[in-house]
Amino acid sequence: MTSQLKTINPATEEVIETYDLMTDDQASQAIDACHKAFLEWKMRSTEERAKVIRALGEGLRKNKDEFARLMTREVGKLIGDSQQEIDLCAAICDFTAEHGPKELADEERDIPGGTGVVSYAPVGVIYGIQPWNFPCYQAVRYAIANLMAGNGVLLKHAENCTGSGLFLKKVLEEAGLPKDLFTVLVIDHDQSDRVIENPLVRGVTLTGSDKAGRVVAAKAAENLKKTVLELGSNDAYIVLDDADLDTAVEACVQGRLYNNGQTCVNAKRFVVTEKNYDRFVERYAEKMRAVELGDPSEEDTKLGPMARSDLRDTLAEQVQESVRKGARALVGGETPDRTGAYYPATVLVDVAPGQPAYDDELFGPVASIIKAKDDDDAMRIANDSRYGLGGGIFSADEKRARELAAQHFDTGMVSINGFNIAIPNMPFGGVKDSGYGREHGGFGMKEFVNIKSIYMA
């Protein structure tokens, strides 16, 4: 077992920093310290917590440029996307501070012979296992909601953005969060299992692959601990007969390439009715072909590297296997001969069941276009997936599109005539192999609380 880990710039392949892994004793002591901080924090009123959380948002804004540059170095995000990510995280703090006290306030209900009180009590230390694609947001998304609820928070971040996790801790504590209440654990996977087993840890949340979700959920269940899982997806965006093609093509390019194509709710499969198929493919391929790879730290770059070379190689193999099984690459599809974990904007057609491009999640800038006979067939194909995180509908009839989204789309989130990733006041999460539980919109604040019934005679 190695006792160190390295962060590597995926654009240059240069080592950024080397970190020592914690020993088991150090990890255990860090959990103890987080629990002690929680015991004091939970006694603060929700209004007091909200005041601190509002200050955390300001702390993120104050450190926006430095944080954005670090994230771009560690995972290859476009610098503009990194800056927007910090803005989103600050907005999450604002929303949570504004609405948290009301969401978590006691509720009174009439009961026979008296008054019933529903109280939302913090439970303790919550452990978050997070990926690299949004180094600040993935941590903030669960941490701020749980801090508002009165819990302590542990973070095991992906190895390649270790620096971002530690920088976030520094920013939060400098902005006024009590020391150790947000604790970063620099540990490996075996140590992570022992964290889940620790009796002071009361809940576990993970964002990652469905494979990782099964492993973590099983370990948590073995220890009778609740989990929230936000897992992968192969989100379908359907282009119906009456869709505006200009709107659809523009949004579908953005939806596929956002964050270098490495987002759980990226648009990934494009299901287009026969009526629109040829014109959509022509326009879409033209726009994707024009996207050039570049340095993610440059403001005008449209597509940067993937986060690691092994992830790029996995994507390339998925594309090659899809082609071997009948798909065609109209654009891209070949790993460029250059330094860095780069992969080009790629468009696959003749995509069918049995190909990774149809069945699996392609986590990178590869679009899978699928032809549907008509609107009903498009909806059928969209739901023909083991995943169910997000999706989209393009149609001139917004009322019908809303009905399809509400009653027929088997996902947790649906965008109509556009592309969205996450908004603080809307719930975020999925169904099927995309996981369970909800974050944002006030829902995340109540995932890890003790909902108490108090009977007043």
What are the residue boundaries of the structural domains of the chain, listed by start? 4-232+433-456, 236-422
**Amino acid letter, 296:** P
How much of the chain, in percent, has pLDDT values that exceed 70? Answer: 100
pLDDT of residue 251: 98
Q: Is the pLDDT of residue 1 over 60?
A: no
For 241-260, what is each residue's pLDDT tens digit?
999 999 999 999 999 999 99
User: Tens digits of per-residue pLDDT, 28-48?
Assistant: 999 999 999 999 999 999 999
**Taking 70 as the threshold, does the pLDDT of residue 399 lie above it?**
yes
User: 236-422 sits in which CATH class?
Assistant: alpha beta
| Identified catalytic residue from 159, 230, 439, 447 | 230
Banded model confidence at residue 263, pLDDT cuts 50, 70, 90: very high
Summarised one tens digit per residue, pLDDT across range 272-301 is 999 999 999 999 999 999 999 999 999 999
Res 52: pLDDT: 98
Could you read off the pLDDT of 58-114 as tens digits, one per residue?
999 999 999 999 999 999 999 999 999 999 999 999 999 999 999 999 999 999 999
**pLDDT score recorded for residue 2:** 65
Across the chain, what does the average pLDDT equal? 97
Q: What is the mean pLDDT of residues 334-357?
A: 98
Residues 406-412 have a mean pLDDT of: 98
Q: Which CATH class is domain 4-232+433-456?
A: alpha beta
Domains 4-232+433-456 and 236-422 share a fold: no
Q: Is 264 a catalytic residue?
A: yes
Q: Spot the catalytic one: 89, 264, 439, 447.
A: 264
Average of per-residue pLDDT across 411-434: 96
230 is catalytic: yes
pLDDT digits (tens, 9 = 90+) for 373-393: 999 999 999 999 999 999 999
Confidence of residue 190 (pLDDT cuts 50, 70, 90): very high
